[in-house]
Amino acid sequence: MKIVLQRVKESQVVVDNDVVGSIGYGYMALVGFCEDDNEDIVNRMIDKMINLRVFSDQEDKMNLSLLDIDGEVLSISQFTLYADCKKGRRPSFIQAMKPERSSPMYDYFNHQLRQVVRRVETGIFGADMKVSLLNDGPVTIILDSSEILR
């Protein structure tokens, strides 16, 4: 599982000219799954994500977590996080979890996230989405379960 977290002042996702998700201060999270991922990995990645201390305290030091600031999350499914660009010029997505498995896994991720985060908005799985954000910092963190959990 890979998650690209961007600390944002605000973010939104548009599908077919309609805003389908919008947040204020928190994370815009691009979320991708590989074939080895399971619910245990999802739960552990959520714990890592919500407890990372990347939000500024009163002394402008990255010392607070998403939970500490009562932040929000815009979650966007992103299979292209598993692009393999080693050969040729066209990426291969063979490592990405197939949609029939990744769609329920993405739903599970968002359901579990909503148990601990006050506001979680999402895009639409598989849709052509236009995501905009105002990155705060900028701060961008990449979480890869193969590096932090295994």
Please count the other Cβ atoms lying within 10 Å of the Cβ belonging to residue 45.
23
Between CA 30 and CA 78 the distance in angstroms is 6
Question: Does the annotation mark 78 as catalytic?
Answer: yes
Q: Is residue 115 part of a domain?
A: yes
Whole-prediction pTM value?
Answer: 0.95
Domains identified in the chain, total number: 1
Domain membership of residue 110 (yes or no) is: yes
Token duo for residue 11: 């973010």
Contact predicate 3/45, CB 8 Å:
yes
In-domain check, residue 144: no
Range of the domain at 84: 2-139
**Over the chain (150 residues), what is each successive 10-residue block's mean pLDDT?**
98 98 98 96 97 97 98 97 93 94 97 98 96 97 88
For residue 2, the cross-strand partners are 32, 144
Asked about 95 being catalytic, the answer comes back as no
Specify the DSSP element, H or E, that contains 56. Answer: strand 55-56
Coil, strand, or helix at residue 37?
A: coil
Q: Quote the pLDDT of residue 149.
A: 74
Q: Is residue 77 part of a domain?
A: yes
Catalytic residue among 55, 79, 109, 122: 79
Q: Residue 111 falls within a domain, yes or no?
A: yes
The C-alpha atoms of residue 21 and residue 52 are separated, in whole angstroms, by 23
Q: What is the CATH number of the domain that holds 116?
A: 3.50.80.10
Question: What pLDDT score was predicted for residue 150?
Answer: 63
In a domain, 116, yes or no: yes
Catalytic residue, candidates 80, 93, 112, 115 = 80
* 150 assigned to some structural domain: no
39-51 and 99-114 helices, crossing angle to 10°: 40
- Among 6, 78, 109, 122, the one annotated catalytic: 78
Which of these, 54, 67, 76, lies nearest to 116 by C-alpha position?
Answer: 67
The answer to whether position 147 is within a domain reads no
